Structure 1
Amino acid sequence: MQEITIGRLRGGYCVSWQETGKRRRYQLKARTRKEAEAEGRLRYMKESIGSSKLTVSEIWEKYREYLGDKPTSKTMRYTGKPIKAHFGSMTVEIIKIQDSRDYTKSRLKEGRKVGTVWTELGHLRSALLWADSNGLVEKAPHIELPSKPDSDIRPLVRSEIRKLINNCAAPHQKLAVILLFATGARVGAVLDRQWKHIDFRRGTIDLRLDDGVTRKGRAIVPMNKMARTALEEAYAARQTDWVVEYNGAAIKSMRTGFYSALKRAEIQGVNIHQIRHTVAVQMLEAGETIEKVSDFLGHSNIHITKKIYARFQPEHLASAATALDFLDDS
């Protein structure tokens, strides 16, 4: 994308850029710098498109530019490869439901999992709906997603949790695993935490992103005793602003350390995302309501929580089952 400049104009913000030797400038509605940067990119896209019809490849890249440095933008670098190969040269008005079905069939034949195809087409749907809502295309076509399989949840029991934590070889690995179990957060949410997000006085851990927009699985959660002890030790030995650090720098991945700890603990059939599932199941088994679990995990909709975890809380249907006990005369 061409270089754009965000400036001030009449008490607000404006966007400007050079085009064929002339400077183009537009007033923005944004009230903050971050909002102005996003709105400015979008305004440039609208003005630069003209009357041309965008292809899926062009929409895909413009959507990634709009997302900026959000995690989804990075993921779309990879999901975009097969999507562009199938849909890339198409314009929105020629895309039919059958194109989605053909894509699903082709990817499954290549050996890809249903969940992978669901994510790829989901990104395509998001990009096209974004283009539609912002006037870049006349109407977004319907993108049919395959039925997403139920999560293969294999929660750890308490003895396994203790073994896993105790078998973390390095302090930063142990801290990260403790925080995953104490917050139910995704790995990225733990690794990108800085000390400004830790409030020892209030006893909270803020998992939200500073952009104020991204909300996937992000919440403010209370700090339990296990987390506080680990965080206080790490804070006393800190070298950077990052909570989880190694050798004076933030770490990008804990995959190697996690699976090494699993191997030492002799725990099989578990991946790192199962920690989040474990947190939810442990809370439900302890008698917490599914509403509290939903809030704790940062789900935007309680139906998501119910769909994934209701089967781990059959007790809430006990009274309903009792009403169907027709041989009980008492």
Structure 2
Amino acid sequence: MTAYLASIEGKPSHSRRQDAWKAMKAFWENVDPVVVDELMSKSYRATRAVSDSTARYELMQLSTALNWGVDEKKIKARGKTWLPLSPEHEIRHLTRTEFDRFFAEVRAPHARLYVLLGLFTVSRPTAILQLTWDRVDFMRRLINFTPPGHVRTAKRRTVVTIGETLLEALQEAYKARTSIYVIEHGGKPVLSIKKAFQAASERSGVHATPYTLRHTGAVWAAEGGVSMAELAQMMGHDDDRTTQKHYARFSPEHLRSVVNAIEGTSPRFRMKA
């Protein structure tokens, strides 16, 4: 696994895969690849207090590393991994009441600014942590999340509009800045915001992760009637198929025309008084 991670060091997924391995390492680091099987995979799943999607991601990474090891002749053979079923449309988001409770317990200024950026721009955690002030245009009220020289991947970076609440928070942070980075602490860029989220989750009783904010903003937008095409642009999806898959059902008009067409205007199905 260490060699596999080193082989993908330049790829965008490297950081996330490193974090996954930190969580996996205690269970897997001394296991002979040949003895990996369904029972062992299920035993690992039982040790992880995470969603099925997270456990599936970790076990898929294990399988990928084992395949790489065989291809590169690092190991002679590998066992067969088991994966949890892929959860359909699993979208963890907060209600407005839950968000208020959570946000009230976010204490560090840089963490509070991160939360507002995450909610109001629906941007991915890495894009927010890498954001620099030169890409925040206060005059036109735009944020460009694409850094210079960024290699475009499937997770596209976008340009988003700054709303009133976020504008005020950014202006205050800009006055107090000590770094080129928007999310900073002690004059240095913040590499991970997870601890702040864990602490606020414990204090508020509302579980949230950095990615929860992206889903929350998208769900609120869908509930407000925003079209899937517009939401796809905001979220950096290449088209709205992914957006519709996850968020269309939250729209008040979702499948409304289908229901209306089925019902028609005939009173013949109406219940009698």
For the aligned pair, the TM-score class normalised by the smaller chain equals 0.7 to 0.9
The separation in 1 between residues aligned to 2:20 and 2:8, in whole angstroms, is 7
Matches within 5 A, 1:1-330: 57=1, 60-67=4-11, 70-75=14-19, 77-78=21-22, 81=25, 88=33, 101=38, 104-110=41-47, 114-124=52-62, 145-150=83-88, 151=90, 153-157=92-96, 160-162=98-100, 164-165=102-103, 168-208=106-146, 210-216=149-155, 218-258=157-197, 261=200, 267-272=204-209, 273-300=211-238, 302-313=240-251, 315-325=253-263, 328-329=266-267
Match of 2:76 in 1: none
Residues paired across the two proteins, number: 259
CA offset digits 1:81-125 (Å, max 9, x no partner): 3566567469xxxxxxxx774554343355565333311233246
Any conservation in 1 of the 2:142–2:162 contact (CA below 8 Å)?
Answer: yes
Are the aligned partners of 2:41 and 2:82 in contact in 1 as well (CA < 8 Å)?
Answer: no
Quote the sequence identity (%).
Answer: 27
**Other-structure match for 1:15:** none
What does the per-residue CA deviation read over 1:212-238, in whole Å, with 9 as the maximum and x for residues that have no partner?
Answer: 245536322222222222212211221
Residue 29 of structure 1: aligned partner: none
Q: Distance in 2 between matches of 1:88 and 1:67?
A: 25
CA gap of 1:104–1:160, structure 2 versus 1, over 3 A, is: closer
Change (3 A) 1:101 1:58: same
Does the 8 Å contact 1:207/1:218 carry over to 2?
A: yes
Alpha carbons 1:208, 1:215 under 8 Å: kept: no
Greater Rg by CA:
1
- In the TM superposition, what whole-angstrom CA distance separates every residue of 1:49-68 from its partner, at most 9, and x where no partner exists? xxxxxxxx586245334538
CA contact (8 A) 1:86 1:103 kept: no
**Aligned equivalents of 2:246 and 2:4: distance in 1?**
30
Q: Distance in 2 between matches of 1:318 and 1:69?
A: 39
Which residues of structure 1 form unaligned runs of 5+?
Answer: 1-56, 91-98
Is the 1:154–1:269 contact (alpha carbons within 8 Å) kept by the matching residues of 2? no
Mark the CA change 1:262 to 1:62 in structure 2 (over 3 Å): closer, same or farther.
closer
Please tell me whether the aligned partners of residues 4 and 68 of structure 2 are also in contact (alpha carbons under 8 angstroms).
Answer: no
Note if contact 1:168-1:261 (Cα within 8 Å) is conserved in structure 2.
Answer: yes
Q: Verify the 8 A CA contact 1:118 1:145 in the aligned structure 2.
A: yes
Name the SS of the counterpart of 1:315 in structure 2: coil
Distance 2:61 2:164 in 1: 39
Post-superposition Cα deviations, 1:185-240, rounded to whole Å, max 9, x if no partner, equal 23333222221232223322222355324553632222222222221221122111
TM-score, length of structure 2 as denominator length: 0.73
Deviations 1:21-56 (A, max 9, x none): xxxxxxxxxxxxxxxxxxxxxxxxxxxxxxxxxxxx
Is contact 2:98-2:206 (8 Å) kept? no
Amino acid at match of 1:115: S
Distance 2:87 2:112 in 1: 32
Pair 1:84–1:255, CA change in 2 (3 A) = closer
Q: Which has the higher contact order (CA 8 A, sep 6+)?
A: 2
Specify which structure has the higher proportion of strand. Answer: 1
Root-mean-square deviation (CA, aligned residues, Å) is: 3.9
